[in-house]
């Protein structure tokens, strides 16, 4: 084999290896992990019982805004990838779980509290695009501090009214003997009072952005006394936890519901004398945590709740993996270009040209 053939063969192998490595990694992290995740990271849920009510819980999507995102090409890629990730994971979860009700626990947007009306309109269109599988008639959406303010400065009434114009503002939504009561700890709102009816045999579910029972201040005491909640869903902390509080002694018990491989769902008895609160993790990898996913609750007529987290692929780890694979691929290309065969060939061509 002459120098030219040896050089070409060596370069083809290095370049082919670099291309195959990039392609194989992209196929794995952009398709395979999404296809296989239900088998290795989702709990077993009783989905075939038609008399149950299936509730999908979306925590803190925080769709990125146009102000704090990097400008230019990198910012566009950042927005595109974050939106695409939530779109892909929500679509798979929604089609698998087939929920009757979808709860959004606030912080729908990342920059809505200081967004102009024009920007908010753009963000809402992106929301509809990202959650395109969602039937808005089955959605119950509450604001978080990133939507209306409240964490640093008090929320403004104009910002609250704007959020309510785009999303349903009714404080109580009922579905099949389950009352979903919206609670806004940020504003200390008591809007639910005018809509509460006799509880009778209904299950009462409080939907809150901020966790309630860990603090148990005066506002939370009012909620527990007036609403008599059986179950509370909350977000904000980007954690997956279960909190049980005794109605009589106010003793708080915590149990972490974290990423596990046993695929076992939790079962809660709503008639055991506790206020049950479930903190739902964020569904966005942009929050800096590896454990992201969607809460899935199945409420039986006999007041038993089966709950698990439908975990999403760990996008942060995959993006770091892209850097590693890209570095290795570039090294392979560099080796192909600067290999001894290539250098020797260039020397021979240089000598021939000058003789």
Q: What is the pLDDT along the chain (355 residues), one digit of tens a residue?
A: 555 566 666 677 878 888 899 999 999 999 999 999 888 889 988 887 778 999 999 999 999 999 988 888 999 999 999 999 999 999 999 999 999 999 999 999 999 999 999 999 999 999 999 999 999 999 999 999 999 988 777 888 999 999 999 998 889 999 989 999 999 988 888 888 888 887 778 899 999 999 998 877 888 889 988 999 999 999 999 988 888 888 777 777 777 666 565 677 889 999 988 889 999 999 999 988 888 999 999 999 999 999 999 999 999 999 999 999 999 999 888 877 776 555 445 444 445 555 5
pTM of the model: 0.88
* Among candidate residues 232, 242, 243, the one with its CA nearest the CA of residue 183: 232
Judging by beta carbons within 10 Å of its beta carbon (0-12, 13-18, 19+), is residue 277 exposed, middle or buried?
buried
**Domain ranges for the chain:** 42-313
Residue 11 CA to residue 17 CA, distance in Å, equals 10
Residue 301 CA to residue 24 CA, distance in Å, equals 47
Residue 190: Cβ within 10 Å count: 14
Residue 11 CA to residue 326 CA, distance in Å, equals 18
Residue 311 CA to residue 292 CA, distance in Å, equals 6
- Joined together, the tokens standing for residue 6 give 């040896």
- Joined together, the tokens standing for residue 216 give 């148990």
Beta strands in 200-289 (DSSP E): 203-208, 231-234, 241-246, 252-256, 266-269, 274-279
Task: Tell how many helices (H) and how many strands (E) occur in the chain.
Answer: 9, 13
H or E stretch including 304?
strand 304-311
Residue 17 CA to residue 236 CA, distance in Å, equals 44
Of the candidate CATH numbers 3.60.21.10, 3.30.43.10, 3.40.50.2000, 1.10.10.10, the domain formed by 42-313 belongs to 3.60.21.10
CA gyration radius, the chain = 26
Look at residue 299 and give its three-state secondary structure: strand
């Amino acid at each position: 084999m002459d120098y030219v053939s040896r050089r070409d063969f060596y370069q083809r192998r290095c370049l082919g290896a670099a291309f195959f490595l990039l392609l194989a990694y992209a196929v794995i992290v952009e398709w395979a992990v999404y296809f296989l995740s239900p088998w290795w990271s989702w709990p077993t849920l009783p989905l075939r019982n038609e008399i149950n009510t299936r509730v999908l819980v979306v925590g803190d999507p925080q769709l990125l805004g146009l102000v704090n995102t990097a400008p230019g090409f990198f910012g566009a890629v950042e927005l595109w990838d974050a939106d695409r990730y939530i779109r892909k994971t929500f679509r798979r979860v929604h089609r698998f779980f087939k929920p009757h009700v979808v709860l959004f626990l606030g912080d729908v947007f990342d920059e809505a509290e200081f967004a102009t009306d024009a920007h908010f309109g753009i963000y809402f269109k992106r929301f509809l695009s990202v959650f395109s599988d969602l039937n808005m008639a089955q959605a119950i959406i509450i604001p978080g501090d990133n939507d209306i303010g409240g964490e640093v400065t008090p929320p403004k009434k104009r910002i609250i009214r704007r959020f309510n114009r785009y999303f349903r503002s009714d404080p109580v939504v009922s579905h099949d003997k389950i009352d979903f009561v919206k609670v806004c700890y940020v504003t200390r709102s008591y809007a639910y009072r005018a809509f509460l009816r006799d509880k009778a045999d209904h299950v009462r579910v409080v939907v809150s952005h901020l966790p309630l029972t860990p603090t148990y201040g005066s506002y939370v005491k009012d909620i527990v006394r007036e609403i008599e909640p059986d179950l509370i869903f909350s977000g904000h902390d980007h954690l997956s936890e279960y909190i049980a509080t005794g109605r009589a002694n106010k003793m708080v018990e915590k149990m972490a519901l974290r990423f596990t491989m046993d695929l076992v769902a939790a079962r809660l008895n709503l008639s055991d004398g506790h206020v049950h609160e479930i903190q739902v993790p964020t569904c966005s990898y942009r929050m800096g945590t590896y454990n992201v996913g969607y809460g899935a609750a199945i409420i039986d007529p006999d007041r038993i709740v089966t709950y698990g987290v439908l975990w999403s692929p760990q996008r942060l780890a995959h993006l770091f993996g892209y850097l590693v694979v890209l570095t290795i691929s570039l090294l392979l290309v560099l080796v192909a270009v600067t290999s001894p065969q290539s250098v020797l060939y260039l020397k021979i061509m240089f000598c021939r040209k000058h003789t």
